[in-house]
Structure 1
């Protein structure tokens, strides 16, 4: 016989025993440093696990808010998962359910089953024993319930099969899931029963605590019909409007596809019918300390849609949800927090917990089925266009030599050190967020502390930029979840938009603007472009938030006083004048001329989504106007009197700051284009003007911008061109915000779109005589 290796500390869960096991594994050549780290100590391991060596982490995301009809309550749920897009889908479903009036959920029963098996020499004795055992229910109940403060024995249901008798003990277990509880209760009840059986003349060959009749951690017809765990149903009415606006699908298509998918499911013998309820249930289970072995039976769900007037009635029935809010893994600290987030920690919450799980799982069912029916489920396969791996930059390279490569002349020679600085950042940009959906390489913002030979130190910001291709790929992925046609048009015409080449434009603009006297932008320190590595980086001065008067204020436009607004308009006017006089002669080839009519089908698709989101006729007209509408836009552009200039094209308080000394700082130039300067002005006003502004307020700032821009055209012609610029801004940028808001939640969208539409009305309504 082989010698069995002995692992140290067997039977012990002390910290010393854990360290001994880790040391033993290290001697065997296994390195588990990451698993060994964690916040759980030996007290947390007791009675939860044996032979502990550490922990693993699963990211936890937030599902919700979801409106529950009972109490008109907004609820949340934590979900632990490693599956990308799961939480986004749950939350899309939650939004649809909530906007339809919320979810109602009902618990039908709670049962936990343990099923001992008794074997006899013959079938006759097994059948007689089964009949006799039923008469002992009162004694069985007394013995079983004596072992627990929570278990209540509802019934004992015998099943005789040949020479075996199976005794199904059916309990309620309070707020615990109850598997261990009912095992102990049944064990003591059976010991009593077998003693009494012997006196009654029965001579069994043996008995075991479980003969597989309880369906423990398994699906079965018995469990479905009779129940094991909590049986719960969640229901909601969804209007046709919500189906179209949030889930991007129409009720007839949803019902039709579901009918025939159910037919095939029945033909294939599928257990129950659902789309992917297990994903939501598993996420909550892992976050709240449930028995993961019970996930299989708990996910045997029945999803149904019923046609009603102007919508559908959606329901999800979970007959075997094996959950608890006390005992087991629910007592660990993080799991306690997760249950508390749901309002379900501790006794008295088992039914609420089941209702919430069913509600969020219903949201996922609706979202996923709608994505399948609406064509959003199969994301476009993104080809990277390469036959060999790219040597992408890694974080370990972000050191002194890498930063020195950005600097020129004396600054490069004098740089002695460059270290990443632990400085919190204001947040992720929209383009970075888009590219992160499809990008695995290192991109983003990295603060550095620079040290020079003369003892001087300085802070700098390194920007590792995603390519235009990566931004467009992320945009297509987002669009696929909003409206499949939008993603298709991005595939066809995305290269004609301002996002194309965004990785090259910002560095080129910074270099060019250094030729201005006191340029209104961050100090440009240098950049790197290595096409073979897909490496595009810029290094600029760090803008300490404490030294800024106004910084990242897109949600607080009221902070900009009249003098501050004037400073912003003066600064961008200087850029427009400088570019018009200094850069037009072939400079900045990285920055294209904007021609939205060349991507008419794409912008019409954005307008269609915007029309659905806002209900404003402007978007419907643009979406339905057809080729003639976009040809007219091109003709109008050719008739404009205002000459082009370098336009920031994202000129709003998110990308514009004001230093305490009064100097303006405009950054994030990756969307820059050659266009008429009014494009920047109208975007700025849409962000900075108050909701419901008076026409005179807008005209006051437009005249100020006209004067500061040194315009070579009459005021009336300039103002007419501003109307065109506003329409173009609505079609190409505000439509993007409204479409993205379906998934991303841009809080400024309603205010900005409303202001831009009002600005268009003002400009279209002002006659030359009034001017």
Structure 2
């Protein structure tokens, strides 16, 4: 079969901002690249960004980080599976030694298990330095499986990936246990700024978040998700920074919380499954490398620091777009008018 030349599919990209971001990973104003066919997104994120620089900024907190791979093993019965996994969890030092053979950066930090009949689902959780870690954790799991089977001959191999990870699928487990970076972005917007720049009031934003994002998602059967369009900002940011775009599936399972703070608006976006990396697969392309450099994610820092910075910037970008869209939707006709004006021009 004839091999085909690797081509590139160009996607329009634009730098938006600056956004004013604060928190433990960065404290500065920075513009962000967004690659998207939905060009009104640039203007929407830009509006949120303009609001951020007129406030104390978007505070970002990286709460947790881990990448997961679940493996599937079989035993003769449930009790044999239970006894094996109970023993495995007590052998952390030996497991660490096996993982260390697979990577300089992978560290096994936790594991969770489920037993279904005679099937043993083992969810392995790692830190992976500056990489998002898909291949790193799979390689570590590939080293761990032969060791486990040697130590526990009553177990048998079934699969290197058991869907208990969960990779690129909507699930409850990722939100509960975490996959990728768990990041929260928050902003407090004075009432006058809300009225002047967002053309709405704090009360209207809080009310719409409850009725649309919370109740609307609930009646739709949404799964651990309460947001208007996290996926839009995530995809634009992922394509511009060399991420695995399919991870927006679990990445967009996030929540908006808004409330009144006196006369002002408190607005936050929580992303428990934000999967980003500053090194690894998808990087090395000229425009990606340049974008990561301009974002300050190519600096000499301790392992993992560049990826945490990238995650914080991404979460702040999501907040800008989410805030702008919700504000627009409090006003009849504003959303469609903006799309018609921007897309048809």
TM range (shorter): over 0.9
Aligned alpha-carbon RMSD (Å): 1.8
Whole-Å separation in 1 of the counterparts to 2:37 and 2:200 = 28
Residue 77 in structure 1 maps to residue 22 in structure 2: no
Which residue pairs with 2:267 in the alignment?
314
CA gap of 1:84–1:76, structure 2 versus 1, over 3 A, is: same
Residue 265 of structure 1, aligned match among 193, 200, 217: 217
Residue 379 in structure 1 maps to residue 337 in structure 2: yes
Whole-Å separation in 2 of the counterparts to 1:167 and 1:209 = 10
Map 1:566-581 → 2, pairs under 5 A = none
| Cα drift, residue 211 of structure 1 | 1.2
Structure 1: 5+ residue runs without aligned partners? 1-6, 10-20, 22-51, 383-433, 440-771
Instruction: Normalising by structure 2, report the TM-score.
Output: 0.92
8 Å contact kept, 2:269–2:315: yes
| Cα drift, residue 381 of structure 1 | 9.6
Residue 221 in structure 1 maps to residue 127 in structure 2: no
Residue 97 of structure 1, aligned match among 46, 52, 60: 52
| Cα drift, residue 205 of structure 1 | 4.4
Map 1:218-297 → 2, pairs under 5 A = 218-261=169-212, 262-271=214-223, 272-297=225-250
Whole-Å separation in 2 of the counterparts to 1:141 and 1:307 = 47
Deviations 1:427-460 (A, max 9, x none): xxxxxxx8x8635xxxxxxxxxxxxxxxxxxxxx
More helix by share: 1
| Cα drift, residue 189 of structure 1 | 1.4
Instruction: Normalising by structure 1, report the TM-score.
Output: 0.42
Whole-Å separation in 2 of the counterparts to 1:305 and 1:155 = 33
Q: Secondary structure at the match of 2:335?
A: coil
Which residue pairs with 1:476 in the alignment?
none
| Cα drift, residue 316 of structure 1 | 0.5
Which residue pairs with 1:156 in the alignment?
111
Whole-Å separation in 1 of the counterparts to 2:261 and 2:273 = 28
Which residue pairs with 1:299 in the alignment?
252
Larger radius of gyration: 1
Whole-Å separation in 2 of the counterparts to 1:321 and 1:437 = 29
Q: Secondary structure at the match of 2:330?
A: helix
Which residue pairs with 1:438 in the alignment?
344
Whole-Å separation in 1 of the counterparts to 2:207 and 2:110 = 43
Residue 330 in structure 1 maps to residue 283 in structure 2: yes
Which residue pairs with 1:8 in the alignment?
2
Which residue pairs with 1:339 in the alignment?
292
| Cα drift, residue 378 of structure 1 | 2.1
Which residue pairs with 2:158 in the alignment?
207
CA gap of 1:196–1:69, structure 2 versus 1, over 3 A, is: closer
Which residue pairs with 2:89 in the alignment?
134
Whole-Å separation in 2 of the counterparts to 1:259 and 1:298 = 21
Whole-Å separation in 2 of the counterparts to 1:132 and 1:274 = 41
Equivalent pairs counted in the alignment come to: 336
Q: Secondary structure at the match of 1:264?
A: helix
8 Å contact kept, 1:141–1:189: no
Map 1:338-487 → 2, pairs under 5 A = 338-345=291-298, 348-375=305-332, 376-379=334-337, 438-439=344-345
Greater RCO, CA 8 A, separation 6+: 2
8 Å contact kept, 2:257–2:267: yes
CA gap of 1:85–1:213, structure 2 versus 1, over 3 A, is: same
8 Å contact kept, 1:237–1:314: yes
| Cα drift, residue 137 of structure 1 | 2.5
8 Å contact kept, 1:275–1:369: yes
Whole-Å separation in 2 of the counterparts to 1:179 and 1:362 = 26
Map 1:5-44 → 2, pairs under 5 A = 7-9=1-3, 21=4
8 Å contact kept, 1:145–1:153: no
Residue 193 in structure 1 maps to residue 148 in structure 2: yes
8 Å contact kept, 2:149–2:157: no
| Cα drift, residue 127 of structure 1 | 2.1
8 Å contact kept, 2:110–2:124: yes
CA gap of 1:350–1:120, structure 2 versus 1, over 3 A, is: same
Whole-Å separation in 2 of the counterparts to 1:154 and 1:53 = 38
Whole-Å separation in 2 of the counterparts to 1:216 and 1:350 = 19
| Cα drift, residue 72 of structure 1 | 4.7
More strand by share: 2
Q: Secondary structure at the match of 1:116?
A: strand
Structure 2: 5+ residue runs without aligned partners? none
